[in-house]
Structure 1
């Protein structure tokens, strides 16, 4: 495909300059949103903490499962000895009540579990939603009808009830984080994505280049992979970015109810379950995982909304109304100058 050219005024002459590519336009719109940049930095920091959990706990000299009974006051019901929950050079954020396990180690390993489960569930939801949506959009009337009814059934299922039932009957020998990710991914989220992909597929398959590929003898799989998926990338990425914080909340809720990740594997929701009776004696035991969960969900939500805005030109144009109009106009002018050079 030939590159589109736009006429711009440069140095007193009308010179055709190549238009910014889709990727550059996306990054330009994303950079114009300061809140999104802050959210992206927070998410990057959380990912680094999750990936570097073994290194961070090794620097502290602790691990998330070792009990320290000498650091708790059994006469007072297991309250940590010392100020601020037993904070010290050996235990940077103190220790858990009753067990004496290092709170910092459990917090960073909990980030690994919570983010890992949410991302794995999102991958399952995206794969299932895209496959079902494209199959329904490209299939005949009966295939579309059957797949659409299956999708409607899963959309109408109450997530928490189904998850509680499935998690209760699966043997405890099955890895719990993997099980939670599979159940969250298979039960929720993908149905809405499937309907969105189906609607977009029905629109795209009527375009000339898709019809030409069909007349050329391409298989349905080739048409979906080479012609439809590029056009579906933007809405799918947008929806996936908004699914991640939702899945983190679901995992935390399941662990809070006691049917998610099981001890001794740390999870933020599980830590909140154990901390509900210690908010007065050891408030950091409740505030730290709650604060981490809140900041993670908030940052991912802001980042997901920023991605949606950057990928949707209509949403991007609405940003120009209000206090950010001049800042975005300057960003566009700088980008156009960069394109000319």
Structure 2
């Protein structure tokens, strides 16, 4: 229905904005935020490193699982031999204490696990949350009540405790990264379902959705053509903020020993083994901790930038607060005064006249009241 309306807009009405124009506007707003651009570059670099991990380790000539016992001092408990944790031309960031495994290889392969688990879990959360939220908003009263209560139960569940319980009872033969992804994705979709339900209830009362329903469109077609485009902005915004949260959850589960198991590298797992080596081999603790910190901060800043770029109210404030003020300061606005650059509109004169009329009527009523008091006194 919205496509039909867009094909033949009435005279004097606003023509609907095409998707390409909306994407261009979003990119323009995002480019105006330097912090978001820097964060996007950092995230892109991390994703590129994770994807190119086999190539990078082949370039170094190492892999994340091979032991090098000759590179650690067994007399000192397995401390890496040499300065900076045994860093050399063969081992760019040094080696792991006790085992001698290459630290660079484990770090870049750990990026694959941490980012992969977080992104896959986010996709699962978004898919379930959107489906449940839309079904609750479009269903009858009983369906809405049932799905809303189920969502409340999911939201009230403590994520870490439920994940610990589920990961502890699953056999170790099940692939651990896949299991962590499923656990996080199947437990933490409640908040996005609530957001989608509230937004869908708002959208389904709009004219174009009602017109599509009167035209005989089915529910699936209405959702796909009319509702999902309106849900894109809040869903993308929330998903961008979910990714760093999921990275932290995966790292915490691996740190507690129920996440990714050795020999598969993970940043949280590396932190678990590094808690006793922060004095003898500080790089073993600082490298995965620094990688986690940079990743979470970059994703959080990027998510906030996406939220600002997709928020039409923020865009409106920027447009009104900077564009008109710039025109007024330059004295080039269509309604700017000759000296001050202050905007004047016809409403000001109307309001001034109304205020003057009100003041005149008030003064007349006061004079009449004083005359009545004088007559009563006489």
| TM-score, scaled to structure 1 | 0.88
Residues paired across the two proteins, number: 313
Query: 1:3: how far off?
Result: 9.8
What is the correspondence of 1:185-264 to structure 2 with a 5 Å cutoff?
185-188=185-188, 190-264=189-263
CA deviation digits over 1:150-192, x for unaligned, max 9? Answer: 000000000000000000001111110010011001111x211
* Aligned twin of 1:315: 314
* Aligned twin of 2:292: 293
Query: 1:225: how far off?
Result: 1.2
Residue 30 (str. 1) matches residue 30 (str. 2): yes
* Aligned twin of 1:338: none
**Separation in structure 2 between the aligned mates of residue 100 and residue 273 of structure 1, nearest angstrom:** 16
Query: 1:256: how far off?
Result: 0.4
**Separation in structure 1 between the aligned mates of residue 220 and residue 320 of structure 2, nearest angstrom:** 43
**Separation in structure 2 between the aligned mates of residue 286 and residue 71 of structure 1, nearest angstrom:** 18
**Separation in structure 2 between the aligned mates of residue 155 and residue 49 of structure 1, nearest angstrom:** 34
Q: Would the alpha carbon gap of residues 23 and 85 (structure 1) be closer, same or farther in structure 2, given more than 3 Å must change?
A: same
**Separation in structure 1 between the aligned mates of residue 81 and residue 8 of structure 2, nearest angstrom:** 68
- Structure 1: give runs of 5+ residues left out of the alignment: 5-17, 331-341
**Separation in structure 2 between the aligned mates of residue 217 and residue 319 of structure 1, nearest angstrom:** 40
Query: 1:252: how far off?
Result: 0.3
Q: Would the alpha carbon gap of residues 97 and 318 (structure 1) be closer, same or farther in structure 2, given more than 3 Å must change?
A: farther
**Separation in structure 1 between the aligned mates of residue 244 and residue 168 of structure 2, nearest angstrom:** 24
Displaced runs of 4+ in structure 1, greater than 4 A?
A: 317-322
CA deviation digits over 1:106-132, x for unaligned, max 9? Answer: 000000000000000000000000000
Query: 1:40: how far off?
Result: 0.5
Query: 1:320: how far off?
Result: 7.7
What is the correspondence of 1:98-109 to structure 2 with a 5 Å cutoff?
98-109=98-109
**Separation in structure 2 between the aligned mates of residue 225 and residue 171 of structure 1, nearest angstrom:** 40
* Aligned twin of 2:122: 122
Local SS of the residue matching 2:125: helix
Query: 1:2: how far off?
Result: 5.5
Residue 142 (str. 1) matches residue 174 (str. 2): no
The structure with more radius of gyration:
2
* Aligned twin of 1:13: none
**Separation in structure 1 between the aligned mates of residue 132 and residue 90 of structure 2, nearest angstrom:** 52
Query: 1:316: how far off?
Result: 3.7
* Aligned twin of 1:89: 89
Query: 1:210: how far off?
Result: 1.3
**Separation in structure 2 between the aligned mates of residue 317 and residue 91 of structure 1, nearest angstrom:** 53
CA deviation digits over 1:240-289, x for unaligned, max 9? Answer: 00000000000000000000000000000000000000000000000000
| TM-score, scaled to structure 2 | 0.80
* Aligned twin of 1:72: 72
Higher RCO (C-alpha under 8 Å, 6+ residues apart):
1
Query: 1:215: how far off?
Result: 2.0
- Pairwise CA RMSD: 2.1
Query: 1:216: how far off?
Result: 2.2
